[in-house]
Amino acid sequence: MTKPESARYDYDVVISGASLAGSAAATLLARRGVRVALLERRTDPEAYKVLCTHSITACAYPVLDELGLIPALEKAGAVRNEARFHTRWGWIEPRAAPEGPELPYGYNIRRSTLDPLIRSHAAETPGVDLLLGHHVTGLVREAGRTVGVRASTPQGEREFRARLVVGADGKDSAVARLAGVRARQYENARFGYFAHFRNLPLHRGIAHTWFLEPDMAYAFPNDDGVTVIAVLPAKKRLPAFREDLEGSFAAFVRALPEAPPVDSAERITKITGLVNYPLHSRKPTAPGVALIGDAALTSDPLWGVGCGWALQTAQWLTEAVASAATGRGDLDKSLRTYARNHQRRLLGHHNLAVDFAKARPFNPMERLMFSAAARDAALARHMHMFASRLIGPLRFLSPVAVARAAAVNLKHRGATVPPPHLSHTGS
């Protein structure tokens, strides 16, 4: 007697990687009746990603809400991520319109808090088997498509067969490599160092970002009274910066406009570096395979979009493939839907990030929009929507927005235009 089609598979979906993207996808898929194996190479359920901006942009708030994580995040001390942005024209300070709705927000929260929270949430979801210490070593293939994985486990080598394999295993994705999905890489002409501090007050208690042209910096308040400070200078400064890392880091921060008082704060971590962090993108699907989070697209950390996009891509994949993953639809067609949505929603943002990663000063259009946003409350809100990835580049640079920016700047014609912040560039 022939086995039913579902009996050919141990699970409907196998996900490699139980951090943000993988745990979110596992939870959302299982709620739709999908049987999920969530494989995590690390054995510690409290493991977390260290190199991160620790910020979830507002674009991902609906995903957090669908996951049911908002109350847990706020109980854990997550900080709503309002922000102000320093430019050579002054500060862009987005605020809600008088008598208007509050600005959309996400959260700043350390990955040491966030990762165990979302992973345990997935593990408690009926239909999800969280398997720690399971490292994908190969793919099972039949008739030109992937139908499972081979994994190294604490009990030895094991095979997991599934209709769909999801790579949620980061920028160096083993699933992508094994599936032959190549990455397209783009140079990042900045390097970065960051550290965590306590007792570091910030103006209005909100996040700060400094556009120094070409250097960058940010300070993000997080849970438990911890603030993350990152500096992202142009790479030409790296040799001198490394000669005295602690001194260079402190001097850079001290020289920032309205600098955070690092000398009176307590640094509670070492200074950690990202000295070579290229951007990359991959086609997010292959036969029987989908990529989410950094496995599909790794942007420049200076924008702080990785956590938000990890959650969003998990949601987009779920919406596209949940029915087909249980055998009730065309999986290849569903994967094409996911790939199109991924490209439509993220490609424009990624292309801008690739261009800005050249460590160049603002181009003419950026000068127009940033200078006007520093002078006009409505354009500051417009900037907030774009920085939160709630609107794309085409809407950010719509004819209406550009015309308003030009009109705002026309009123300031004749005002002295300050140069980029040369004290950091070494120019």
Q: Tell me how far apart the alpha carbons of residues 377 and 374 are, in angstroms, rounded to a whole number.
A: 8
Q: Tell me how far apart the alpha carbons of residues 208 and 123 are, in angstroms, rounded to a whole number.
A: 35
Residue corresponding to tokens 């990687």? 17
**Which residue from 362, 351, 357, 348 is spatially nearest to 391, judged by alpha carbons?**
348
- Cα dihedral value 315, 317, 319, 322, nearest 10: -120
Q: Tell me how far apart the alpha carbons of residues 402 and 124 are, in angstroms, rounded to a whole number.
A: 48
Helix and strand numbers, DSSP H then E, in the chain: 14, 22
Residue corresponding to tokens 């943002």? 349
* Contact indicator for 106, 59 with CB cutoff of 8 Å: yes
Q: Which amino acid is at 148?
A: G
Q: What is the pTM of this model?
A: 0.95
How many C-beta atoms lie closer than 10 Å to residue 104's C-beta?
15
Which long-range contacts (C-beta less than 8 Å, at least 24 apart) are formed by 393-401? 393/348, 393/349, 393/351, 393/352, 394/348, 396/369, 397/365, 397/369, 401/369
* Contact indicator for 252, 192 with CB cutoff of 8 Å: no
Measuring CA to CA, how many Å separate 380 from each of 172, 375, 384? 36, 8, 6
pLDDT tens-place string over residues 318-359: 999 999 999 999 999 999 999 999 999 999 999 999 999 999
Measuring CA to CA, how many Å separate 135 from each of 6, 43, 158, 296? 25, 10, 10, 19
User: In 16-110, which ranges are continuous DSSP H helix?
Assistant: 20-31, 61-67, 70-75
Q: Which amino acid is at 248?
A: S
* Contact indicator for 86, 211 with CB cutoff of 8 Å: yes
Q: Taking each helix axis from N to C terminus, what angle separates 306-325 and 20-31, rounded to the nearest 10 degrees?
A: 30
Label residues 313-334 b or e (16+ Cβ within 10 Å = b): bbbbbbebbbbbbbeeeebeeb
Q: Tell me how far apart the alpha carbons of residues 412 and 210 are, in angstroms, rounded to a whole number.
A: 22
* Contact indicator for 331, 164 with CB cutoff of 8 Å: yes
Give pLDDT < 70 ranges for the chain: 1-7, 414-427
* Contact indicator for 425, 212 with CB cutoff of 8 Å: yes
Give the rounded distance of the alpha carbon of 82 from its chain centre: 17
pLDDT, position 97: 96
Domains and CATH numbers, the chain: 5-54+110-183+280-352 (3.50.50.60), 192-274 (3.30.70), 364-425 (no CATH)
Q: Which SS3 state, helix, strand or coil, does residue 311 take?
A: helix
Measuring CA to CA, how many Å separate 405 from each of 98, 100, 378, 398, 410? 20, 21, 10, 11, 8
